[in-house]
Amino acid sequence: MKVMYLHGLESGPTGTKAKKLAERFTTHAPDMQMSVWDLRRHNSVARNVVKQKGLLAAGLAGSVAGGLLAGPVWCAGGAVLGCAGFSALNRKHVVKKAVSGSFEACVQVQCAAIREYKPDLIVGSSWGGAVALELIRRQIWSGPCVALCPAYHKIHGMMASESITLPDGAHCLIVHGTDDKTIPIANSRELERANANIRLLELDGENHKLTSAVRSGKFIEIIEDYTREQKL
């Protein structure tokens, strides 16, 4: 069975969950080049903020990517947003546009990956879980999906866009820890209430990374149970 893994915001194709999936399934994890502040990541929010100010042409991002500012990369994005001439009035608009650009770029990365890889199952974590749900909403992906602590509400709240309604025939299992401090489990409960084809599995005491479930192997057991349920 072919699994496509959509990684989290500050993670990548070689993260822990991707490795665990690869031990059990034929797994492909496209790199979305995503981050909040890291200007070296092509689809980062900070990089999209910089583009709006025209600072890429001045060579700032090129210097960072070239390693000249390798040490303070993570604070560089914050300095751009806080000190590059944004007024308090338009800062919200700038962030909304930057997040929207990053999210759309990641959706397009995964669109291309679906066409090329033709997976049987998509698994997405946090930011990747939100991208997975968006692929379903747009009917780009109609197959089964497992979304781990998806950040859909948080991302779409920043973009001031509507919540998700999945098309008929699509199905998604959401796995969410009750002790998630990053993405409240209430968000996933709301998604389940609004969509008959979303099922929520709550993991008592688990954090945003589902650390215990990943370490113990329960994470893979959940995926295996779901694949049997979906007759994959």
> Which of 46-50, 196-200, 208-212, 221-225 shows the lowest mean pLDDT across its residues?
46-50
* Mean residue pLDDT across the chain: 84
Q: Provide the pLDDT confidence category of residue 63 given band limits of 50, 70 and 90.
A: very low
Q: Provide the pLDDT confidence category of residue 54 given band limits of 50, 70 and 90.
A: low
CA-based nearest residue to 180, from 161, 154, 215: 154
Residue 4: pLDDT over 80: yes
Give 134-164 pLDDT, tens digit per residue.
999 999 998 899 999 999 988 887 776 666 7
Written as six digits, the tokens of 214 are 């990943």
Q: What integer pLDDT is reported at residue 87 of this predicted model?
A: 54
CA-based nearest residue to 180, from 151, 137, 223: 151
Return the beta strands (E) in 69-210 as ranges.
121-125, 145-148, 172-177, 198-203
Residue 221: pLDDT over 70: yes
The Cα–Cα gap between 132 and 221 comes to 20
The pTM for the full model equals 0.86
Q: Provide the pLDDT confidence category of residue 180 given band limits of 50, 70 and 90.
A: very high
